[in-house]
Structure 1
Amino acid sequence: MIKRLIYLSFLALVLNACSTTKYLPKGEKLYTGGEVKVDDKAIPKKDAKALSSELKTYIRPKPNSSLLGMRIKLWLYYKTKNRSNFIQKFLSKYGEPPVLASQVDLEKNSEIMQNRLQNISYFQATVSGDTIAKEKTAKAVFTARTGPSYTIRNVTFPNATDNNLDTAVKGTMKETFLKKGDKYNLDVIKNERIRIDTRLKDEGFYFFAPEQLIVKVDSTIENHQVDMIVSIKPETPAEAREIYTIRNIYVYPNYFLRDTNLHLDKAVPYRWYNLIDPRKTARPYMFANTVLLHPGDVYSRTTHNNSLNRFINLGPYRNVKNKFEDVTPDSPKLDVYYFLTPYKRKSLQLELLGRTTSANYTGSQINLSWKNRNAFKGGELLTVTLFGSTDVQVGGQNSGYNVYQYGIQTSLSWPRLITPWRVSSSNAYIPRTVLQLGYSSVVRQKLYSLNSFTGSFGYQFKTDEHRMHELNVLEATYVKPRNITQLYADSIKKSNNPALKHVIDPQFTLGPSYAYTYDNTTEDYRTNSLYFRGKLSLSNNLYGLITGADTLAGKDKKLFGTTFNQYVKAESEIRFFHKISSGTKIATRLLAGVGLPYGNSTILPYNQQFFIGGPNSLRGFRPRSIGPGTVDPTNADGNTFIADQSGDVKLEANVEIRQKLFSIVYGALFADAGNIWNAKPHQPGGTFGPNFLKQLAVDAGFGLRFDATILVLRTDLGFPLVRPFPSVDGASRTISPSFKNAILNIAIGYPF
C-alpha cells in the first residue's frame, strides 16, 4: 500500500511538472533550447561536432532547467507565485520563471556565433537562425556555414636594433604561441601579447602594457593562409620603452590606512633596504628573506610578486600594499615601498569538537590555543595548545573501556632556515625552521595509562607551488606506561597476541625523517590531478650500529637508561583524481608502508605501527579491527575487550565515484581493500608473505557528502565483502552484502 502511494505521488509530480506550459501567457511558447548545425562537408565530423558544441554555449537565453525531462523549478515558480504561506515562501527561492521563445534574438545570436567562427580562422563563415515551433513549445535552430579555415604561413617579429624594446620583443620569439601551420585564432593572439608583456616585465619594462603590441594579419595570401607581423604601436610612450632599475627600497612593518606621511626621515638602513618602524615592532633582519629586489637590479615582476607572496606568508601581516615611484633624474629608476598591516600580535582560540566512529565511540575534544605571531619581533610564530578529549563507547564489546587524553603541544616556527651555513632562495615561498615539544597522557579506562613525550627540530620549504619538503633533523618520542591494571596484565598472559604487551612497552625513538609532497589537486581546471606523499623515518640506526645492538642475540642496548627502538620505515600515499564532467569525478588512492625493525628491535614501536579500517580507510570494517594478516581480532581468548590491531606493513587501495546530486549534496559509490601485517613472525598468520593478496579485506558501499566548502559532512554506509580471516565456524571469508553487517560512518571531510 505504501509503495503504491509513493508511486502515485511520484506520478502526480511528473504530470504536474510536465503541465507547466498551461500557465503560459496567451500567444507565447516555452523556449526549450537551441541547437547548432555545422553545414560544411569539408570539415571532419569530429571537428564539426566540437564546433557545434562550442557554438551552442553562446546561445542566449538558456532554457529552463529540467531533471529527467521535468521542469521542476518552473513548476515550483508557478505553484509558489502567490506565496500564501510559509512553505510557499521558502520553496519560491528555488523557483524559476519561464523562458519564452519570444525572448530569443535569432539575429543577435547568429551575429555572436559568426563572430566567434571568424575569430577561430573561419573568415568566410555565416550563421543563420530559425525557430521550430510546436503547440506550446519552440526551439531555436542555427545553421553555420563555416567556409575554409585560414592557417598561419609566416610570423615576423621586430628586428633587433639599438632600440631596447624592439630587441627585447625579438628575444621572445622562440617561445611564441604563433606557430606556422596552426589555425588563426584571436584568443592565441591575445595570449601572445600577454606572454610577451610578461617576459618584458621581467626585463625591466615596468610601464609597458600588452595593449602597446599589435599583431597585423594579412589574409590576402593564397591557399587560405595568413602572414602575421608582431610590432610595437608607434604611439607607445617613451617611459614604456625604457628599462627601469631599482634605486631605494622602504619597508613599513606597522602601517595603517590613516598613515599618509612616508616618514622618510625616520628610515633606518639595513643591508639593502630601509626600515621605517618608529615603534620598533620588527627587527630589521626580519625581511631579509622577503625583500628580493636589490638597489641596482633591473625591475622584475616575477621577483616582485615573489616578494609580495613572502610578505604574506611571513605570518604577522594580514595585508601588504606596495607602491613603485618613478624617480628618474638622469636615468630610469624606481623607488619601492612595501606597506605592511599587522595582525593582532597575540590571540587566544578555543575549539570544541564532537565526533563519532563506527566502533560505537562517541567523542569530544577541547583545544585551547595561544598564539604569538611575532614572538621575538623576527616573524616567529609561537603556539601553545592545551587539549583534552574523551572517547566513550556506547554498546559493543569495548563498552566501559573508554579513552581519555590530555596534554600540551608547543611549537616555535622561524620564517628562515637556521643552519650552520647560509641558504638563500628566491621563489615565492618562505622556508621555515620548526621546533616542537609536546606531552600527552592517554588513559584507557580499566586497562592502562601511558605518558608520551615528543620533540622535533627540522625544516619545511617549498620549491614551487606543488612541491613541499619536510626534513626533521631530529625527531624523538618517549612513551612510558604509568599504570597497568590487573585485568590488562592477565589478558597479556592469557592471550597469544603480543600486540597487547607491545602497547605498554616503553618506547624510545630518536632519529631523522624526511617527507616529500607533490600536490596539484587544488587546481580545479585540471582533468587529471595528483597528490603524492612519501616519507622515510629512521631511529637509532647509527647508535645501534656503534653499540652492536642485537636483541635476538641477547645484546639489548639502552640509551638514557631505556631500551631504544631501531628501525627503518618508509611510507607512501598516491591519490589520483579524474574529472569526467563538471559534477562527476573518480577519486583513487593507494597507500603502502613498511617498517623494518632490526638490531635492538623485533617489532616497530606501537606509535609507529600501521592501522587499518574506519571512516577514512576501509569503511566496511570498524577502526583498527583488521589484521595483522589472517588474525581474527574477535578471537580474544576470553578478553572482554578487543585490542587495536597493528602491524609493520600496510597496503590499502580505495576508489570512489563522486557525483553532484543537487545544491551542496554529492553522492558517492566506493570500494576499499587492504590489510596490515607484521614484518617478523609474532602471531600465526600475521606475517607478510607471498600470499598477501589473498589476505586483503574488501568492502564497498555508498554515501552522501554535504559540501558547504568551509565544512564537509560525510556519511558512508560500508558493506564488508571479504574478510582476511574465516568465520568462527570455518566458513568462507566472503560475506554476502546485507544491512545487518553494514557499518555507518559519520565523519567530517572527504576520506581522501
Structure 2
Amino acid sequence: MTEKPLQSYYLFSILLLAGAILLTTSCSSKKFLGEGESLVRGTEISVEGADKDPYLRDLKNEMRNIPHPRPNSRIFWFIPRERSYFRIQQKQDTTGWDRFILRNFAETPTLKDSFKIDRAAGAFERYFRTKGYYNAKVDYEVKVREHRAFIKYKVEPRRLYKADSLVFKTDDREVLKILNAHRGESNFQRGTPLSRENYDAEARRITRLLRNSGYYEFYPNYISNLRLGDTTRTHISVSLEISPPLPDSIHRKYTIRNIDVYPDHDPFERTAPQFQSTENGITYHFRNEPEIKTSRIKNNIFFRTGDLYNMDDYNRTIRRLGSLSWFRFPSILTHPDTTGGYYLDYDIFLRPNSRFERFTNFEFSYSRVQNITSLLGFTFSNSLENRNVFGGSERLVIDFEAGIETALRSLSTGNTFNLRIGGDLTSPQFRDYTGMFGLANNIRIGNFRLLSDDFYEDIRSEGNINVNVNAGISQYQQFYNYTFLNASYGISLQRSPTQFYDIRMLGINYWSPRELSDFDELVGDDVLFRRRFTKRLLTGFLFKELTYRYDGRPNRFGESWSVLANLEFSGHEIGIINSVSKLISGDRLIDQVKLGRDTISFAKYIRFDLDGRFHKAYSPSRKLALRGFAGAAIPLSSSTNIPYIKQFFGGGAYGIRAWQLRELGPGGLIDTLAGERNILFYQSGDIRLEFNAEYRFDLIWALEGATFIDIGNVWNISSDADPVTRLSWDFYRQLAIGAGFGLRFNFDFFVARFDFAYKVKTPYRDPKTDSYWAMRSLSDLGFNNMTLNFAIGYPF
C-alpha cells in the first residue's frame, strides 16, 4: 500500500468512527418524552451578596458539587448525551456497540422532577446553615417551554453567625485546666463563622489535645453540640460542655507501665522466645539470636514506661517502626488495666523481612516521528537490596541499568545506549554530620527561623540519612557521549501521609562529554551550545538540593491535587568565596580545577521547577487529568551558562507528545535538517512552560481510551543566544500545541500506553504556508503526520 492510500485509509477510518457515533447519538430527544415530561435544559444558582462577599462566593462555587438537577452534558458541545440513552433503552436486545455507547457516551436523561427539585433546595438550605447562616432561605422557580425545563434557585443567606468567645464547661477541673491553657488554639476565635466545619475541627482538636495528655479513653462523643449565647448580638459567645464518662465523675489519665517488644515475631510459630533483655524500661523477647540492634528499635519508640499516654507518640511509633526496612508492618496491642490505678501495657510485635531482595525489570519503548524515523528502545535493570546491612535496619541497594535505542530506518547512524551502576545507603538514625541542620535552626529571619523548631524536631526524630553514589556512560548515536559520577548526602523525611521532603546538604556531580563524528555537522557554529557542552563540576558543599512532594487524597468530589517542587544550587559557595576574594584582593580564587590534562569548570546556577497535577473522577470509568509545569535554570554570574545536562527539554512520551524528545524549541527555532540526517534531536532551553490535559475513559475489558492536548515550549535566557530562541514578552506565539488520542491497556500492576499525537500549532511559522497552524484541514490527520508514542504508565 502506498503512502497516499494509507493516509486516506486512516482518515476514512477516523471519519467512519466519528460518523457512527454521530448516527448513534443523533435525533431529537423530544419524541421520546411523554405528555407532561420535560428535560432539564438549564440550572442557575444565584446567591444574594456573593458578588461582594468572598466567603459567600466560595460557598456558591461549592454548591455545584451538591446533587441537584442539571442538564445533560453534550458530545462535541452540541449533541446531548441523553439521546443515545433514549434510543438504546427502547430496544428489546442491545448489541455490544450499544453497550459501548451507553458506557462511554450516554447519560441518563435529567427529567423535570418536582420532588428532586424541592429536595435540592432543601439540601442547599441545610448546606448554608452548616456554614453559619442559620436562617438561610432557598426558593426556586421552574419555567417550561416545549418540553424544556429551566430551573433557577435563589439563595437568601441572611445573617452569618460569628463567634465572640468560647467557654468550656465541665466539672473535671484537670480537663478544664488543659482546655483553658490551649484556648488560643481554638477554631472559634472572634469573628470566625459558627459553622459545622469549624465545630468538627474543634472537636478533633480537643480530642487530640486530651488524648495527648494521658486521657486514653477520651472520645469526641463526650463533647456537646455548640451552645449559643445571646443571638441578638453581632458576635455570639459560645460554649462546649465536656461530659464525664459515666458512672465515673471525671476522666482518667493512663500511665504506661510495661513495654514488651518481640523483634522476630512469627504469627505461625509457637516456639516461646529464648532470649530476653531489658533496656531503658523496654523488654525485648527474641526467639533466635538477635539480628538487629535493640538501640535502633528503642530510638523509634517514642514512649517510655512511666509516661502518660500520648496518641501522637503512639501513632509516630507505628509509623517509624513500619518505615524500618528490616520489619514488615508492626502491630501494637494495648492492654488497659484499672486494677490499683490506670495503666497501659504495650506488646509490640515486629515481623522481620527477608534480608535480601532482588528486582529485575525489562522495558520496551517505541516511537514513530511522523514519516521521518522510528525508534525502538529496550532497557534492562537489576538491583540487589540488603535490608539490614549493618544490623540497624540500614538499607543498601546496588543497582545496574543498561539501555539501548536504535533508529529502525537507518542503523548506520549508530545506536543510543546508556550504562549505569549505583549504590544507595539509607539509615533510619539521623545524624547531623555537617551541622547544617542545627545551624539553619538557629538562623533567624525576622521573627522566623530558617528551619522551624517543629521541622527540626521532625528531622531529628523521623529523618533518614541517605548517601547515594552512581556512575555511568551514555552515548547518543554518533552525536556525543558522556561519562558521569554523582555523589550526595542528605536526609529524607515523610512528614505526613501526604508530604515528603528530600534535602541534599552535600552533592558533587562530575560530567565529562565527548564529541563524536556527527557533532560538528549537527551543531555547526552554535557557539553557545559548545560552551554548555564542556566538562563541568556541579557542587553543593553547604546546600545542594531540596525536593518537596505533596500527594493529596481524593476528596468527596473525586478531586485530588499533587505537587512536585525541586530547588537546586550549584557553585554558590564558589561564588561566595570568589566575591569575598575579589573584594579583598581584587582577584577571583576559584573558577576551575585541573584534573590531569583536563580543565574542569565549576557550574554556578540555581534551578527551580514546579509540577502541579489535578485529577477529577466523574465516575469510575471517566476521569479528567491536568498538569502544569514551570521550570527555570538561571546562571549565578554573567560569565557562566547552564550545563547542557541541567537544561530543560520538551517533547516525548511524558511531555508534548506530538514532538519527539528534545525536538521542540528552543523558542521558534526549527532544525530543518534533523529529519534528513535521521538522528536524535538535542534541543534544550533554560526555561520550560507546559500544560497538559487528558480525558480518560474505559472502553472494554482492560482497554482504556483517552483524548489529550499538550501546550508548551522551552526557551533560552542567555543574552548571547539566538534571538529567536530567547524568552520574550510575546512568548505565547511560540507555544506549541499538540493533540491526539490514546489507547491504554491497564493490567493493574502496569499500564501499557499508546499515544497518537498530531501537531496542531508549531512554535514557528511554516516557510511554505507562513502560518503557525500545522493542522489546517482534515487531510492533515493522516498517518504520515502522526507521532506514535509507546510507554509504560500514565503520562501524569
| TM superposition score category, shorter chain reference | 0.7 to 0.9
| 1:701 counterpart = 2:738 | yes
Aligned ranges 1:525-544 → 2 under 5 Å? 525=555, 531-538=564-571, 541=574
Residue 440 of structure 1 corresponds to which residue in structure 2?
472
Question: Which one of the candidate residues 544, 564, 573 is aligned to 2:609?
Answer: 573
Alpha-carbon shift at residue 203 of structure 1 (Å): 1.7
Say if 1:692 and 1:732 are closer, same or farther in 2 by CA, change over 3 A: farther
Residue 85 of structure 2 corresponds to which residue in structure 1?
74
My pick for the range that moved more, 108-117 or 222-231, is: 108-117
| 1:564 counterpart = 2:600 | yes
Letter in 2 for 1:286: R
Residues 346 and 372 in structure 1, CA contact (< 8 A), matched pair in contact too: yes
Residue 632 of structure 2 corresponds to which residue in structure 1?
592
Tell me the distance in 1 between the aligned counterparts of 2:731 and 2:233: 65
Say if 1:104 and 1:625 are closer, same or farther in 2 by CA, change over 3 A: closer
Residues 152 and 181 in structure 1, CA contact (< 8 A), matched pair in contact too: yes
Letter in 2 for 1:383: V
| 1:624 counterpart = 2:662 | yes
Question: Which one of the candidate residues 265, 280, 286 is aligned to 1:277?
Answer: 286
Tell me the distance in 1 between the aligned counterparts of 2:590 and 2:202: 72
Q: Gaps spanning 5+ residues in structure 2: where?
A: 1-10, 439-455, 583-587
Residues 132 and 139 in structure 1, CA contact (< 8 A), matched pair in contact too: yes
Tell me the distance in 2 between the aligned counterparts of 1:496 and 1:276: 72
Secondary structure of the 2:383 match is strand
- Percent of paired sites with the same residue: 15
Question: Which one of the candidate residues 734, 737, 743 is aligned to 2:774?
Answer: 737
Tell me the distance in 2 between the aligned counterparts of 1:432 and 1:490: 47
1:150-172 Cα shifts (integer Å, max 9, x gaps): 83676552368872122223334
Tell me the distance in 2 between the aligned counterparts of 1:662 and 1:538: 50
Tell me the distance in 1 between the aligned counterparts of 2:706 and 2:575: 51
My pick for the range that moved more, 739-748 or 315-324, is: 739-748
Alpha-carbon shift at residue 107 of structure 1 (Å): 9.4
Tell me the distance in 1 between the aligned counterparts of 2:630 and 2:59: 39
Secondary structure of the 2:329 match is strand
Tell me the distance in 2 between the aligned counterparts of 1:31 and 1:261: 71
Question: Which one of the candidate residues 390, 399, 416 is aligned to 2:429?
Answer: 416
Tell me the distance in 2 between the aligned counterparts of 1:4 and 1:447: 42
Tell me the distance in 2 between the aligned counterparts of 1:35 and 1:639: 57
My pick for the range that moved more, 265-274 or 536-545, is: 536-545
Count of matched residue positions in the alignment of Structure 1 and Structure 2:
727
My pick for the range that moved more, 189-198 or 423-432, is: 423-432
Alpha-carbon shift at residue 16 of structure 1 (Å): 5.7
Secondary structure of the 2:224 match is strand
Residues 673 and 696 in structure 1, CA contact (< 8 A), matched pair in contact too: no
Secondary structure of the 1:377 match is coil
Tell me the distance in 1 between the aligned counterparts of 2:677 and 2:550: 47
Say if 1:366 and 1:110 are closer, same or farther in 2 by CA, change over 3 A: same
Say if 1:716 and 1:257 are closer, same or farther in 2 by CA, change over 3 A: farther
Residue 198 of structure 1 corresponds to which residue in structure 2?
208
Question: Which one of the candidate residues 212, 215, 227 is aligned to 2:225?
Answer: 215
Residue 277 of structure 2 corresponds to which residue in structure 1?
268
Alpha-carbon shift at residue 209 of structure 1 (Å): 0.6
Residue 585 of structure 2 corresponds to which residue in structure 1?
none
1:264-305 Cα shifts (integer Å, max 9, x gaps): x85423445333332324221322442122333332222222
Alpha-carbon shift at residue 64 of structure 1 (Å): 8.6
Say if 1:229 and 1:261 are closer, same or farther in 2 by CA, change over 3 A: farther
Alpha-carbon shift at residue 413 of structure 1 (Å): 1.9
Tell me the distance in 1 between the aligned counterparts of 2:477 and 2:44: 71
Letter in 2 for 1:623: L
Residues 609 and 646 in structure 1, CA contact (< 8 A), matched pair in contact too: no
Residues 305 and 428 in structure 1, CA contact (< 8 A), matched pair in contact too: no
Say if 1:240 and 1:63 are closer, same or farther in 2 by CA, change over 3 A: farther
| 1:310 counterpart = 2:316 | no
1:215-252 Cα shifts (integer Å, max 9, x gaps): 36368855799764311224446497122333333333
Residue 441 of structure 2 corresponds to which residue in structure 1?
none
Tell me the distance in 2 between the aligned counterparts of 1:277 and 1:460: 30
Residues 29 and 101 in structure 1, CA contact (< 8 A), matched pair in contact too: yes
Letter in 1 for 2:714: G
Residues 125 and 145 in structure 1, CA contact (< 8 A), matched pair in contact too: yes
Secondary structure of the 1:214 match is coil
Letter in 1 for 2:262: Y
Tell me the distance in 2 between the aligned counterparts of 1:356 and 1:629: 27
| 1:459 counterpart = 2:459 | no
1:89-112 Cα shifts (integer Å, max 9, x gaps): 777777888899999689988887
Residue 522 of structure 1 corresponds to which residue in structure 2?
552
Tell me the distance in 1 between the aligned counterparts of 2:60 and 2:112: 21
Residue 445 of structure 2 corresponds to which residue in structure 1?
none
Say if 1:654 and 1:37 are closer, same or farther in 2 by CA, change over 3 A: closer
Tell me the distance in 2 between the aligned counterparts of 1:148 and 1:393: 70
Tell me the distance in 2 between the aligned counterparts of 1:507 and 1:143: 65
| 1:673 counterpart = 2:713 | yes
Residue 450 of structure 2 corresponds to which residue in structure 1?
none
Residues 377 and 406 in structure 2, CA contact (< 8 A), matched pair in contact too: yes
| 1:380 counterpart = 2:380 | no
Alpha-carbon shift at residue 658 of structure 1 (Å): 5.0
Tell me the distance in 1 between the aligned counterparts of 2:61 and 2:647: 53
**Structure with the greater relative contact order (CA < 8 A, sep ≥ 6): 1 or 2?**
2
Tell me the distance in 2 between the aligned counterparts of 1:109 and 1:606: 58
Tell me the distance in 1 between the aligned counterparts of 2:138 and 2:532: 76
Aligned ranges 1:117-128 → 2 under 5 Å? none
Secondary structure of the 2:686 match is strand
Question: Which one of the candidate residues 172, 177, 181 is aligned to 1:167?
Answer: 177
Tell me the distance in 1 between the aligned counterparts of 2:362 and 2:192: 59
Letter in 1 for 2:388: N
Q: Gaps spanning 5+ residues in structure 1: where?
A: none
Residue 392 of structure 1 corresponds to which residue in structure 2?
406
Tell me the distance in 1 between the aligned counterparts of 2:317 and 2:592: 53
1:36-56 Cα shifts (integer Å, max 9, x gaps): 999x99999999999899889
Tell me the distance in 2 between the aligned counterparts of 1:119 and 1:695: 45
Alpha-carbon shift at residue 391 of structure 1 (Å): 0.8
Aligned ranges 1:61-460 → 2 under 5 Å? 68-71=79-82, 74-75=85-86, 78=89, 82=93, 151=161, 157-158=167-168, 163-178=173-188, 184-215=194-225, 217=227, 228-236=238-246, 238=248, 241-258=251-268, 266-271=275-280, 273-279=282-288, 280-328=290-338, 330-357=340-367, 358=369, 360-395=374-409, 400-420=413-433, 425-426=457-458, 430-444=462-476, 451-460=483-492
Tell me the distance in 2 between the aligned counterparts of 1:675 and 1:737: 21
My pick for the range that moved more, 421-430 or 190-199, is: 421-430
Letter in 1 for 2:332: N
Residues 655 and 672 in structure 1, CA contact (< 8 A), matched pair in contact too: yes
Say if 1:110 and 1:561 are closer, same or farther in 2 by CA, change over 3 A: closer
Tell me the distance in 2 between the aligned counterparts of 1:57 and 1:623: 40
Alpha-carbon shift at residue 362 of structure 1 (Å): 2.2
Residues 719 and 742 in structure 1, CA contact (< 8 A), matched pair in contact too: no
Tell me the distance in 2 between the aligned counterparts of 1:433 and 1:523: 27
Say if 1:288 and 1:239 are closer, same or farther in 2 by CA, change over 3 A: farther
Tell me the distance in 1 between the aligned counterparts of 2:154 and 2:86: 34
My pick for the range that moved more, 494-503 or 289-298, is: 494-503
| 1:18 counterpart = 2:49 | no
Residue 722 of structure 1 corresponds to which residue in structure 2?
763
Alpha-carbon shift at residue 211 of structure 1 (Å): 0.3
1:399-435 Cα shifts (integer Å, max 9, x gaps): 6322123343332222223454898844698422233
Say if 1:248 and 1:450 are closer, same or farther in 2 by CA, change over 3 A: same
Tell me the distance in 2 between the aligned counterparts of 1:489 and 1:480: 12
Structure of higher CA gyration radius: 1
Question: Which one of the candidate residues 476, 481, 506 is aligned to 1:473?
Answer: 506
Tell me the distance in 2 between the aligned counterparts of 1:33 and 1:149: 33
Alpha-carbon shift at residue 200 of structure 1 (Å): 1.3
Tell me the distance in 1 between the aligned counterparts of 2:352 and 2:600: 46
